[in-house]
Amino acid sequence: MRIVLVGPPGAGKGTQAAFLAKNLSIPHISTGDLFRANISRQTELGKLAKSYMDAGNLVPDEVTIAMAKDRMEQPDAEHGFLLDGFPRNVSQAEALDELLERESMQLDAVLDLEVPEDEVVKRIAGRRICRNDSSHVFHVTYKQPAKDGVCDVCGGELYQRDDDSEETVRTRLEVYHTQTEPIIDYYKAQGLVVTISALGKVEDVTTRAMEALKRGEDDE
């Protein structure tokens, strides 16, 4: 299957992408991973992307698209892939369509993870990270530490990252609504969108997603 995963920040896209890719035996292609890999390997695309990032500018769509194209052409993606973070806007979606058409391929589904805005804010603004190890993550509601402000694992101080503040989260949501959400309508016109609720336990959301994708296949 060839799938695009969309949803607002805080919807759990990264977590669901990993589970779905494993269940479907297809690679999880994340924009963030693409950038890090290309920059780390110092590919021409990586050097180009880094030059924009170092200057404080957004990486142009054509660079992102070229990275995605290169990754989708790898042998492990021959029978499908799950795109996470790409396309991010309608122009990227159009470019992806053109790329797939040239390769005689097409998307099977666009999985839209739906989460109420207030829940997104609650999820992200409630996160607390350990200063000693950023992999130790807690939450003021969903995963409270035994002692307020102290990491259960190492005793380090828990803090809220600047980009997890409610004001920043709402700004990120506005960017999502303005730039990324329009691709849902774009793909709806192609009959590709499958929308599920991303509320509840991680495994429940994964099950919901797998069932919805299977229904989508059966309907074709």
Q: What is the DSSP letter of 162?
A: G
| 13 is annotated as an active-site residue | yes
Q: How far apart are CA 50 and CA 59, in angstroms?
A: 8
The catalytic position among 161, 188, 214, 215 is 161
**Nearest partner of 99 among 89, 115, 87, judged by Cα:** 87
Please give the backbone phi and psi of residue 33, each rounded to the nearest 5 degrees, phi first: -65, -40
Q: How far apart are CA 107 and CA 27, in angstroms?
A: 15
The catalytic position among 13, 71, 122, 123 is 13
Residue 153 to residues 11, 127, 141, 158, Cα–Cα distance (Å): 26, 16, 18, 11
| 127 is annotated as an active-site residue | yes
The catalytic position among 50, 69, 88, 170 is 88
Written as one string, the DSSP assignment of 56-91 is T-PPPHHHHHHHHHHHHTSGGGTT-EEEES---SHH
| 128 is annotated as an active-site residue | no
The catalytic position among 2, 71, 123, 172 is 172
Q: Which residues contact 83 (CB under 8 A, 6 or more apart)?
A: 3, 4, 5, 29, 68, 96
Do residues 7 and 198 make contact, with C-beta atoms less than 8 angstroms apart? yes
**Nearest partner of 59 among 67, 49, 44, 47, judged by Cα:** 49
The catalytic position among 2, 71, 123, 127 is 127
Which positions are catalytic? 13, 88, 127, 161, 172
